[in-house]
Amino acid sequence: MSGLRARVRLRRGSFDLDVDVQVSAGEVLAVLGPNGSGKSTLLGAVAGLLRPDDGLVEVGGRVLTDTARRAHLPPARRGVGLLAQDPLLFPHLTALANVAFGPRATGSGRRRATELAHRWLAEVGAAEFARRKPAALSGGQAQRVALARALAAGPGLLLLDEPFAALDVDAAPALRGVLRRVLAAAGQTALLVTHDPLDALALADRVVVLGAGRVVEEGPTREVLSRPRTAFTASIAGLNLVEGTATPEGLRTPDGTRIAAASTPGRGRAVAVFRPADVALYLDPGHGSPRNVLPAEVTALEPHGDTVRVKVTGAHPWLRGLAADLTPAAVADLALEPGTPVHLAVKAAAVGVHPAQPPAGTAAPQ
């Protein structure tokens, strides 16, 4: 088992990154932060693409960079895998050969590499694409193959750099589910850079939030996102979370309400997550096709960028504090004010159900 220790001080022009980040063995740490806060610079330093001015990077106790000793291993020798936004597959090789390339590059013989490639393709649900070339794969399929390639090399640390950013909305939840499953099954230590709090909620035990090159918040994912201490975290948090038990169709709340979702682990303690922007409010219940329509009452209206964040409450205790982001015109049309009875509607396609994170402090095996 190999954890990561990274202390990185690095200047790029007038920007100055100065962070200390640790990931326990088997843990997934998400790095969140606004544009230009230093996420890619940190990732580059850990991957070995950038040399810190001052710092130490260790994976599993093995020194990859130590400026005090002028030690710096090149990216290919660090035992660190990368899954980026672009799958970067070799176009002339089949999916199988692409995956076998990972273990071949780290010294496995041809037969062993092919065996590993078959195993990892099956693991990520891409066995049937083994003989296809990248041009014949969809974005989501190619990303699965790229994940298999990264994992087949047996990296001590996996870096995930916005791995869903280039996928369409249908492919992203499926790949998120695959990634969550294989990271847990392999006990893989990983560092995930993302703009999307849903990625962090679905995949990460802990998050660090960067602001202007410094760590400004740090802690268990749910805690940081539900009690944000900085404006940035507040702006990406504020997600609607409903706790309950996963079902094959979505989530069942403790009082028995069923919430239909696009993705679900199927069973176990879980949380349904959806964005306020995906919630519509109506005055009567009979609108359109959304599968989740819940009676509620407006409690507050707050400006939120270009939209108005409408908070609600309702007979079900878990409705308390849920939010919908509406345009000012929609708020005016519906004549919403505190006390207005409404129907809150959210399409199943906009709801993701994720296994509940373990309670704080128990997430990371040492």
Characterize 268-293 residue by residue with b for buried, 16 or more Cβ atoms within 10 angstroms of its Cβ, and e for exposed: eebbbbbbbebbbbeeeeeeeebbbb
Q: Which is nearer to ligand ATP, 11 or 132 (CB)?
A: 11
Distance CA 246, CA 287 (A): 26
DSSP labels, 269-326: EEEEEE-GGGEEEESSS--SS-SEEEEEEEEEEEEETTEEEEEEE-SSGGGTT-EEEE
Minimum distance of ligand ATP from residue 195's CB (angstroms) = 6
Q: Which is nearer to ligand ATP, 41 or 221 (CB)?
A: 41
Q: Which is nearer to ligand ATP, 84 or 324 (CB)?
A: 84
Q: In what order do the strands lie in the sheet with 4-12?
A: 15-23, 4-12, 54-59, 62-66, 71-72
Q: Which is nearer to ligand ATP, 10 or 241 (CB)?
A: 10
DSSP labels, 37-53: SSHHHHHHHHHTSS--S
Minimum distance of ligand ATP from residue 11's CB (angstroms) = 9
Q: Which is nearer to ligand ATP, 212 or 330 (CB)?
A: 212
Report the 10 Å Cβ neighbour count for 122: 13
> Which residues, at least 6 apart from 145, have a Cβ–Cβ distance to it below 8 Å?
87, 89, 95, 98, 99, 121, 124, 126, 129, 134, 137
Q: Which residues make up the interface to ligand ATP (CB under 6 A)?
A: 12-13, 15, 33, 35-41
Minimum distance of ligand ATP from residue 233's CB (angstroms) = 14
Q: Which is nearer to ligand ATP, 40 or 221 (CB)?
A: 40
Q: Are 260 and 346 in contact (CB under 8 A)?
A: no
Minimum distance of ligand ATP from residue 43's CB (angstroms) = 7
Minimum distance of ligand ATP from residue 14's CB (angstroms) = 8
Minimum distance of ligand ATP from residue 221's CB (angstroms) = 18
Report the 10 Å Cβ neighbour count for 79: 17
Minimum distance of ligand ATP from residue 278's CB (angstroms) = 23
Q: Which is nearer to ligand ATP, 12 or 112 (CB)?
A: 12
